[in-house]
C-alpha cells in the first residue's frame, strides 16, 4: 500500500478524487468493479488514472482502475518531501513572532524530528533521507552556488588572509586539538572507550571541526551582523572544505591501514594544496566557459540562466570526480562567472538566475534541516556520556582558543583590528551542521565499529550549536551592541568615492614607488578590462566603466521600485518629498552664473527626473497587464539587450511618449485618424522624435506650476506643462523635460525647439490658446500619439520594465 | 641605480619626524625600514646622485611627479598631484598651493593616509576620519571656497571616467548630476522650487559618506620594503 508520508499535506485531494469517482460511477452505471478502489484512501493520482481509463472502457474485464504506486513512488515521495519543506517554511513565517525568536533552522530540525517520529510510529522503517550521496550531489550544491554567486567579492578579497587563516590553520587546530584530547580522554576513562585508537579520534576531530556553511548561512542571515564579521565566519565555513576533505580522506585511509609515516604527512600537505587549488582551478575554468557561452546567447535568451547552473554544477561534479573540493569549485565558478554573465545576459535572465538560486538554495536548506531531524530519529544511537559531552565541550574550547590565538596573530597584520567582541562572535558563530553529519554517515561500519557513537556525538554537537548557539547569538549580538549591517543601499556618491579612493590610493602608492596591494589590484583590473572582458563580454558592453554600469543599475532599481510601489492613486503622497528636491538642481546653474547655453539642459535635468518618475508610476497599470508572461517576448524583444545607455534613453523616450499620449487622450483630441501605427513604431524605434515634432511656439502658458499638482486630475488654476526639449546641445537624442517656470518667461524661449503639451486644465484659461495654435504637424503628432488603434499593439511590443 | 642607506634615515627623516612629533604612515623611528619608500621618492623625483647625507633640501616640483610612469594611467592623476601641492593639506590654516614641496610637506600630505590602530580611541578615529574626508573634500574643491559645486563635481566624475576610452561626457554629467541630487536630497530634504542647492559643503560631504568607513579604508601601509632590492633606475627611466 502506498504510504502517505507527509501527514496532512494534502488532505483535501483524496476527497476530491473520491468525489470525481462517485460522479463517474453515477454516469457510467454500476458495472464497474470499483469496490476495492473506492474503499480505501487513495491519493489523487489514482483518481486521475481512473478518470482517464474510464473513457477507455471497452470490455468488462478491463481493469478500469489500477493501482501502481511503485511506478511513481520515488518522484512522488520526493515531491512530498519538498512540498512538506516548503509548507513548513511557509508556516513559520505565518506564525507571528515565532520566527523572530527561534531561528528557522531549529524549527525545521524539530519538524524533522516530529516527522521522523511519525514515520517510525507508522511503519517502523524510515527512509534513509539524509543519504550522504544524495546530500552531496543534490542538496549541497545549490546552497554553495548561491553563496558563491552572491559572494561579496570585495570584502572577501580584502579579508582573504584572515579568512584563510581561520579556515586552514583554525580547522587544522580544531581537528587535532579535539581529536588528540578526545583520544586522551578515551584512554583515561575505564570503559570500552579505550579501544578507540588515535586515528579514529583524529578522524572524528576532522569531521566535527569544520564550521558548516549551511548552518552559518541560516543563522547569520537572520542576525544581520556587519559585513566584516559575516564574511569572516562565512568565508571560513566555505574555505575550510578543502581542509576537511583532505583530513577526512587522510584519516580514513590511515585508520583503515593503521599506520602513518612522515611521508604520509607530507603527501597530506601536498594533497591539501592539490585539493584546494584544483577545486578553484576547475571552478574558474568552468566559470570562464560559462562566461564565454553567455556571450553568444543573445538570440536564445530563454536558456541563458540554465547555462549558469549547468556549468557550475559541472564544475562541482568534475571536482568531485577527482576528490577535489567541490565547494571550492562552486565558489570559484560562481564568483568568476558572475561579473561577465551579468554583463552579457538580459536583465530578465539575471533575475531568473537570482530567483532560481535563492529558491533552490532555500529549499535545499529547508530539506537539509528537516532531514537532519528525521535522520536523528532514524539512526541507531549509542549514547556514551563521556564521549558526547567531551566532544561538545572540546568543540567549544577548541573554537575559542583557536579564534583568540589566531586573532592575536592576525591582528598584527590587520589594519582593521578584530576586537574582543568580534572574536567572541566569530567563535560563537562556529556552527556545525549537516556536512559533518553526512561525512560521519559515510563512515563504513566494518572499519569503524564506533560509527554509531560518532554519529550520536556529531548530532549532539550539531544540535548544541544550532539550537543553543543559534538561538542565543541574536540576543547576544544585541547585548554586545555589535555593529550591525547597514541596510541602506549603496548610494551613487559612495560608489563614486569608492572608486575615487581606489585610484587615489593606487596613485599615492605609485608616487611612493611602493608596489603594494592597491598597485596590484589596479594592474589586475587593467588586465581584466583590457583582455578578459573583451574576450568574454559582448562587444559594446565590455567597455562600459563600472561606475556607469552601477549608475544604470541603480537607476533601474529606482524605476522598478517606483513602478512597483507607486500606484496611480498613491501618486500625490508618493511624490512630494522627492519632488521638492528635484527642483534644487535646476536652480543651480543660474545661481553660479554659468554660461547661458548650459542653462537649458541643466534646467531640464531635474525636471526630467521628476516627470519620469511620475510617468513611471502612472504607467503601472499598463505594465501590469504586460506581466503576463509571453514566451515570445523573451526572444523577440529587441529591448532585451540589457540596459545600455541608448536603450535607457529610448525607454525614457517611450515613457514620455506614452505619457503624452495619455495626456492627449485625456484632452480628448477629436478625430484621431486610426492610421499611422507604423509611424508610431518608427518613431519609437528610432529613439528620437525630432523628425516628427517640429518647433512649437508656446506663449500662453506662463503660469508657474506647482510640481505636486502635476497629476492626472484636472487642476484648475495650476497648469503644468511639459516641454520636451528635443535638441539640447549636450545630448541630442536624450529627452529633456522642462518645466516652464518663472524664469522661462523672463528669457523668451528663442530656440523654439520643444513640443509643449498641456495638461487638462478643465476650463482653465491658458488651455485654449495653446490648443488653437496647433500647427499642422502638431496635429499629425497628436493624431499618432492619441491613436487608439495601434496603441494596443504597441503595448505588446513595449518592453515592460524588467 | 641608487641604493638607500639606513644612514639617510637617521640623518634626515628621523629628525623631521621627531621635530614635528608626527608619525606619518608607519614611519616609526624604531622600524627604520618603513620610511624608505617616502624617502626614496625624493631621490627618484629629483634624480640626484646618491647623496645619503642630506635629503631635506631636496625639493619636488609638479613636473617631477608628473613624470612618474606608473602614474600615467591613473585617471585622477592631476588631482593627486595637486593634492601634494595644496597648502590646505599641511595641517595648517594656509590656503593656496606650493610651487615646490620639500620632504616635510610631502610627509604631511602622506600623513593623511595613516591607518588607525587598536589603541586609537573613538574620538581619535572620528578625528582621523574627518581629516581624511577633508583631504578628499579638498581634492574635489579645487577653488578652495569650501563648497563643491556641481561644476567641480562633474569634473571629478569626468576624470574618474576619463580612462575608459572615448567615454561620453553626458554619462559623466548625468552621474554627477544624480549624485549631486542625492546629496541635496539627503541633506536638505525640504526645499521649495525657488531654492537652490549651491554645492556640497563639508558637513554635507561628511553626511553622505558616513557609511563609507573612511578611517579604515583610506590608508597606505608599507609592509616590509626591502630597500636593498629596490632601485631607482626603473622608476626614473
Supply the DSSP string of A599-617, one letter for each residue: HHHHHHHHHHHHHHHHHHH
User: C-alpha cell of A404?
Assistant: 583568540
State the Cα–Cα distance between residues A790 and A681, nearest whole angstrom.
9
Contact map slice: B 86-125 vs A, CB within 8 A: 110, 113, 115-118
Interface membership of A414 toward B (CB under 8 Å): no
Q: Do B184 and A580 touch (CB under 8 A)?
A: no
What mean pLDDT value characterizes chain A? 69
- Write down the residue that cell numbers 458495472 correspond to: A31
pLDDT given for residue A329 in this prediction: 92
Q: Is B28 helix (H, G, I), strand (E, B) or coil?
A: strand
Rounded (10°) CA dihedral A219, A220, A222, A224: 160
Q: pLDDT tens digits for B168-207?
A: 677 777 778 877 877 777 777 666 666 677 778 888 888 7
State the CB neighbour count (10 A cutoff) for residue A319: 27
What is the rounded CA–CA span in Å between residue B118 and residue B1?
Answer: 39
Of B115, B177, B209, the CB nearest to A497: B209
Question: Chain A partners of B70 at a C-beta cutoff of 8 Å?
Answer: 510, 519
Query: How many Cβ atoms from other residues are within 10 Å of residue A28's Cβ?
Result: 14
| pLDDT exceeds 50 at position A615 | yes
From CA A737, how far away is CA A755, in angstroms rounded? 10
Between chains, do B160 and A511 touch, taking CB under 8 Å as contact? no
Helix (H) or strand (E) holding B149: strand B148-149
B77 touches chain A (CB under 8 A): yes
How sure is the predictor about A127, in pLDDT bands with cuts at 50, 70 and 90?
low
Which conformational region is residue A235 in: left (phi greater than 0), alpha (psi within -120 to 50 degrees), or beta? alpha
Say if the Cβ atoms of B195 and A584 lie within 8 Å: yes
Flag if A491 and B208 touch (Cβ within 8 Å): yes
Reading the block at residue A436, the C-alpha cell is 559533518
Cell 575505564, residue located: A190
Q: Which range among A25-34, A109-118, A573-582 has the greatest average pLDDT?
A: A109-118
Three-state secondary structure call for residue B92:
coil
Q: Do A543 and B208 touch (CB under 8 A)?
A: no
Question: Which chain A residues have a beta carbon less than 8 Å from that of B199?
Answer: 592
Whole-number pLDDT of residue A318 = 92
Give the HSE-up count for residue B192: Cα atoms under 13 Å, Cβ half-sphere. Answer: 3
Kindly state the percentage of chain A with pLDDT values over 90. 10
**Cα–Cα distance for residue pair B34/B37, rounded to 1 Å:** 7
Number of cross-chain residue pairs from A and B with Cβ atoms under 8 Å apart:
202
When mean pLDDT is compared over A276-280, A583-587, A705-709, B83-87, the highest value belongs to: A276-280
Q: Spell out the residues 6+ positions from residue B67 whose beta carbon is closer than 8 angstroms to its own.
A: B45
Give me A673's grid cell.
485618424
Burial of A145 (0-12, 13-18, 19+ CB in 10 A): buried
Q: In what order do the strands lie in the sheet with A721-725?
A: A736-738, A721-725, A754-758
| B219/A415 CB distance under 8 A | yes
Q: Is the pLDDT of residue A38 over 60?
A: no
- Give CA–CA dist A249/B117, Å, rounded: 42
User: Looking at chain B from residue 17 to 46, which residues have their Cβ under 8 Å from any Cβ of chain A?
Assistant: 37-38, 40-41, 44
Lowest mean pLDDT among A89-98, A140-149, A228-237: A89-98
Cβ of A415 and B139 within 8 Å? Answer: no
Give the pLDDT band (50/70/90) at residue A404.
very high
Residue A737 has what pLDDT? 39
* Residue B76 in contact with partner chain A when CB distance is under 8 A: yes
Listing DSSP states for A622-641 in one string gives HHHHHTS--HHHHHH-GGGS
- Assign A484 to helix, strand or coil: strand
A177, A402 Cβ separation under 8 angstroms: yes
Q: Which residue of B has its CA nearest to A706?
A: B193
Among A227-231, A502-506, A511-515, the minimum mean pLDDT is found in A511-515
- Cβ–Cβ below 8 Å for B110 and A508: yes
Sequence-ordered list of residues with C-beta below 8 angstroms from that of B130, at least 6 positions apart, any chain: B206
Cell readout for A276 is 584546494
The alpha-carbon radius of gyration of chain B (Å, integer) is 20
Q: What is the pLDDT of residues B124-137, one digit of tens each?
A: 888 888 888 888 88
Q: Is A576 on the interface with B (CB under 8 A)?
A: no
Buried b (16+ CB within 10 A) or exposed e, A221-241: ebbebebbbbbbbbbbbbbbb
B157-174: average pLDDT: 72
**Would you say A146 and A139 are in contact if contact means Cβ atoms under 8 Å apart?**
no
User: Could you tell me the CA-to-CA distances from A4 to A20, A45, A50, A451, A555 in Å, in that order?
Assistant: 20, 12, 19, 31, 50
Nearest residue on chain B to A576, judged by CA atoms? B190
For residues A652 and A609, give the distance between their C-alpha atoms in angstroms, rounded to a whole number.
10
Which three-class secondary structure state does DSSP give residue A9? Answer: coil
Does A415 contact chain B (CB < 8 Å)? yes
Contact A212, A444 (CB under 8 A): no
Strand B100-101 with B60-61, pairing: antiparallel
Q: Are A46 and A16 in contact (CB under 8 A)?
A: no
Task: List the single residue in A with minimal CA-CA distance to B205.
Answer: A493
- Subunit contact B220:A516, Cβ cutoff 8 A: yes
Angstrom distance (rounded) from CA A13 to CA A233:
45
Q: Which three cell numbers stand for residue B128?
A: 582621523
Chain A CB within 8 Å of residue B191 CB: yes
Cα–Cα dist A434/A477, whole Å:
24
Contact A556, A651 (CB under 8 A): no
Which of B:156-185 have CB within 8 Å of A? Answer: 156-157, 160-161, 164-165, 167-171, 173-175, 177-185
Range from A156-170, A393-407, A545-559 carrying the lowest mean pLDDT: A545-559
The runs of H, that is alpha helices, within A699-787 are 742-746, 767-772, 776-786
Residues 6+ apart with CB under 8 A from A16: A44, A47
Which of A226, A423, A493 should we substitute to test contact with B (largest number of B Cβ atoms within 10 Å)? A493
ipTM: 0.75
Contact: A498, B44; criterion CB under 8 Å: no
Residues 522-541 of A with CB under 8 A from B: 526
Q: Residue A281 in 3-state DSSP?
A: helix
Candidates A408, A419, A494, A497: best to mutate against B (most CBs of B within 10 A) is A497
CB contact under 8 A, B117 and A581: no
Residue from the list A492, A512, A519 with its beta carbon closest to the beta carbon of B41: A512
Q: Residues A660-679: pLDDT tens digits?
A: 655 555 444 344 344 444 44
Handedness of CA A568, A570, A573, A579 (dihedral sign): negative
Query: Which of residues A669 and A182 earns the better pLDDT score?
Result: A182
Q: Please provide residue A449's backbone torsions phi and psi, each rounded to the nearest 5 degrees.
A: -70, -15
**Chain A residues in contact with B169 (beta carbon < 8 A):** 730
CA A53, CA A12: separation in Å to the nearest integer? 22
- Binary contact (B156, A500; C-beta < 8 A): yes
Output the pTM of the full model.
0.66
List the single best residue of B45, B156, B175, B190 to mutate versus A (max A Cβ within 10 A): B175
* B103 pLDDT tier (thresholds 50, 70, 90): low
Amino acid at each position: 500500500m502506498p504510504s502517505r508520508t507527509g501527514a496532512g499535506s494534502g488532505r483535501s485531494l483524496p476527497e476530491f478524487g473520491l468525489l470525481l469517482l462517485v460522479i463517474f460511477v453515477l454516469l457510467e452505471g454500476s458495472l464497474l468493479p470499483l469496490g476495492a478502489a473506492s474503499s480505501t484512501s487513495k491519493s489523487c493520482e489514482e483518481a486521475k488514472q481512473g478518470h482517464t481509463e474510464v473513457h477507455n472502457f471497452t470490455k468488462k474485464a478491463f481493469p478500469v482502475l489500477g493501482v501502481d504506486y511503485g511506478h511513481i513512488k520515488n518522484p512522488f515521495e520526493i515531491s512530498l518531501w519538498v512540498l512538506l519543506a516548503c509548507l513548513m517554511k511557509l508556516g513559520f513565517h505565518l506564525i507571528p513572532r515565532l520566527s523572530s525568536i527561534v531561528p528557522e533552522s531549529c524549527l525545521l530540525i524539530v519538524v524533522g524530528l516530529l516527522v521522523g517520529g511519525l514515520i517510525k510510529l507508522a511503519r517502523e522503517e524510515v527512509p534513509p533521507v539524509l543519504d550522504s550521496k544524495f546530500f552531496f550531489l543534490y542538496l549541497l550544491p545549490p546552497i554553495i552556488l548561491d553563496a558563491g554567486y552572491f559572494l561579496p567579492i570585495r570584502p572577501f578579497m580584502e579579508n582573504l588572509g584572515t579568512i584563510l587563516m581561520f579556515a586552514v590553520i583554525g580547522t587544522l587546530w580544531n581537528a587535532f586539538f579535539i581529536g588528540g584530547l578526545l583520544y586522551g580522554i578515551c584512554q583515561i576513562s575505564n570503559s570500552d572507550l579505550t579501544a578507540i585508537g588515535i586515528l579514529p579520534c583524529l578522524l572524528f576531530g576532522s569531521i566535527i571541526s569544520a564550521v558548516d556553511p549551511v548552518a552559518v548561512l541560516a543563522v547569520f542571515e537572520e542576525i544581520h551582523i556587519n559585513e566584516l564579521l559575516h564574511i569572516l565566519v562565512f568565508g571560513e565555513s566555505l574555505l575550510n572544505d578543502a581542509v576537511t576533505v583532505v583530513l577526512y580522506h587522510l584519516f580514513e585511509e590511515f585508520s583503515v591501514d593503521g599506520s602513518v609515516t612522515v611521508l604520509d604527512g607530507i603527501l597530506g600537505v601536498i594533497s591539501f594544496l592539490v585539493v584546494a587549488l584544483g577545486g578553484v582551478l576547475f571552478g574558474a575554468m568552468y566559470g570562464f566557459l560559462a562566461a564565454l557561452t553567455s556571450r553568444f546567447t543573445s538570440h536564445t535568451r530563454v536558456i541563458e540562466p540554465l547555462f549558469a547552473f549547468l556549468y557550475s554544477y559541472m564544475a562541482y561534479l568534475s571536482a568531485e570526480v577527482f576528490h577535489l573540493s567541490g565547494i571550492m569549485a562552486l565558489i570559484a565558478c560562481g564568483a568568476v562567472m558572475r561579473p561577465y554573465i551579468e554583463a552579457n545576459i538580459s536583465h530578465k535572465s539575471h533575475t531568473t538566475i537570482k530567483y532560481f538560486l535563492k529558491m533552490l538554495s532555500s529549499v535545499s536548506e529547508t530539506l537539509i534541516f528537516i532531514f537532519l531531524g528525521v535522520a536523528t530519529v532514524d539512526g541507531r544511537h549509542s549514547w556514551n556520556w563521556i564521549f558526547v559531552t567531551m566532544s561538545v565541550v572540546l568543540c567549544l574550547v577548541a573554537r575559542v582558543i583557536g579564534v583568540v590565538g589566531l586573532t592575536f596573530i592576525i591582528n598584527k597584520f590587520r589594519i582593521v583590528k578584530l576586537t574582543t567582541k568580534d572574536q567572541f562572535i566569530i567563535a560563537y558563530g562556529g556552527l556545525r551542521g549537516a556536512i559533518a553529519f553526512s561525512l560521519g554517515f559515510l563512515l563504513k561500519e566494518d572499519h569503524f565499529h564506533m560509527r554509531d557513537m560518532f554519529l550520536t556525538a556529531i548530532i549532539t554537537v550539531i544540535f548544541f550549536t544550532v539550537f543553543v548557539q543559534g538561538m542565543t547569538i541574536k540576543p547576544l549580538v544585541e547585548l554586545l551592541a555589535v555593529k550591525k549591517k547597514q541596510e541602506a543601499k549603496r548610494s551613487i556618491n559612495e560608489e563614486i568615492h569608492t572608486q575615487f579612493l581606489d585610484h587615489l590610493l593606487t596613485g599615492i602608492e605609485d608616487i611612493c614607488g611602493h608596489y603594494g596591494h592597491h598597485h596590484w589590484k589596479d594592474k589586475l583590473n587593467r588586465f581584466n578590462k583590457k583582455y578578459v572582458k573583451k574576450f568574454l563580454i559582448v562587444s559594446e558592453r565590455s567597455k562600459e566603466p563600472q561606475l556607469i554600469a552601477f549608475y544604470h543599475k541603480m537607476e533601474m532599481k529606482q524605476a522598478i521600485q517606483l513602478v512597483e510601489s507607486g500606484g496611480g492613486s498613491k501618486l500625490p503622497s508618493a511624490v512630494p518629498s522627492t519632488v521638492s528636491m528635484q527642483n534644487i538642481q535646476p536652480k543651480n546653474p543660474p545661481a553660479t552664473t554659468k554660461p547661458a547655453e548650459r542653462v537649458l539642459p541643466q534646467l531640464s535635468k531635474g525636471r526630467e527626473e521628476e516627470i519620469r518618475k511620475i510617468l513611471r508610476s502612472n504607467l503601472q497599470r499598463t505594465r501590469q497587464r504586460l506581466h503576463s508572461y509571453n514566451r515570445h517576448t523573451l526572444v523577440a524583444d529587441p529591448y532585451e539587450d540589457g540596459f545600455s545607455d541608448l536603450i535607457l534613453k529610448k525607454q525614457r523616450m517611450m515613457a514620455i511618449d506614452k505619457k503624452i499620449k495619455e495626456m492627449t487622450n485625456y484632452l480628448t483630441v477629436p478625430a484621431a485618424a486610426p492610421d499611422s501605427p507604423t509611424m508610431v513604431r518608427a518613431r519609437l524605434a528610432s529613439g528620437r522624435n525630432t523628425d516628427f515634432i517640429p518647433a512649437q511656439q508656446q506663449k500662453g502658458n506662463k503660469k508657474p506650476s506647482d510640481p505636486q499638482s502635476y497629476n492626472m486630475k484636472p487642476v484648475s488654476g495650476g497648469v503644468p506643462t511639459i516641454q520636451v526639449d528635443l535638441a539640447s546641445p549636450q545630448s541630442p537624442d536624450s529627452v529633456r523635460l522642462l518645466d516652464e517656470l518663472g524664469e522661462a518667461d523672463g528669457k523668451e524661449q528663442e530656440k523654439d525647439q520643444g513640443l509643449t503639451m498641456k495638461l487638462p486644465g478643465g476650463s482653465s484659461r491658458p488651455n485654449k490658446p495653446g490648443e488653437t495654435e496647433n500647427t499642422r504637424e502638431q496635429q499629425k503628432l497628436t493624431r499618432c500619439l492619441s491613436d487608439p488603434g495601434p496603441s494596443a499593439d504597441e503595448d505588446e511590443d513595449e518592453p515592460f520594465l524588467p | 641605480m641608487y641604493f638607500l642607506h639606513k644612514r639617510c634615515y637617521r640623518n634626515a627623516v628621523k629628525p623631521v619626524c621627531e621635530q614635528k612629533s608626527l608619525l606619518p604612515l608607519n614611519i616609526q623611528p624604531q622600524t627604520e625600514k618603513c620610511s624608505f619608500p617616502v624617502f626614496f621618492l625624493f631621490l627618484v623625483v629629483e634624480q640626484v646622485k646618491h647623496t645619503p647625507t642630506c635629503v631635506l633640501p631636496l625639493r619636488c616640483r609638479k613636473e617631477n611627479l608628473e613624470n612618474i610612469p606608473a602614474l600615467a594611467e591613473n585617471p585622477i592623476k592631476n588631482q593627486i598631484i595637486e593634492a601634494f601641492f595644496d597648502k590646505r593639506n599641511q595641517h595648517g590654516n594656509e590656503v593656496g598651493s606650493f610651487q615646490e614641496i620639500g620632504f616635510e610637506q610631502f610627509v604631511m600630505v602622506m600623513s593623511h593616509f595613516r591607518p588607525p590602530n587598536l589603541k586609537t580611541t573613538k574620538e581619535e578615529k572620528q578625528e582621523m576620519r574627518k581629516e581624511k574626508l577633508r583631504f578628499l573634500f579638498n581634492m574635489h574643491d579645487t577653488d578652495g571656497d569650501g563648497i563643491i559645486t556641481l561644476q567641480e563635481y562633474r569634473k571629478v566624475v569626468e576624470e574618474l571616467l576619463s580612462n575608459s576610452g572615448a567615454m561620453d561626457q553626458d554619462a559623466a554629467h548625468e552621474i554627477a548630476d544624480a549624485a549631486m541630487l542625492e546629496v541635496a536630497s539627503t541633506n536638505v530634504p525640504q526645499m521649495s522650487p525657488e531654492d537652490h542647492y549651491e554645492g556640497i559643503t563639508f558637513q554635507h560631504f561628511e553626511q553622505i559618506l558616513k557609511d563609507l568607513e573612511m578611517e579604515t579604508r583610506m590608508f597606505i601601509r608599507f609592509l616590509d620594503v626591502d630597500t636593498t632590492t629596490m632601485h631607482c633606475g626603473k622608476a626614473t627611466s
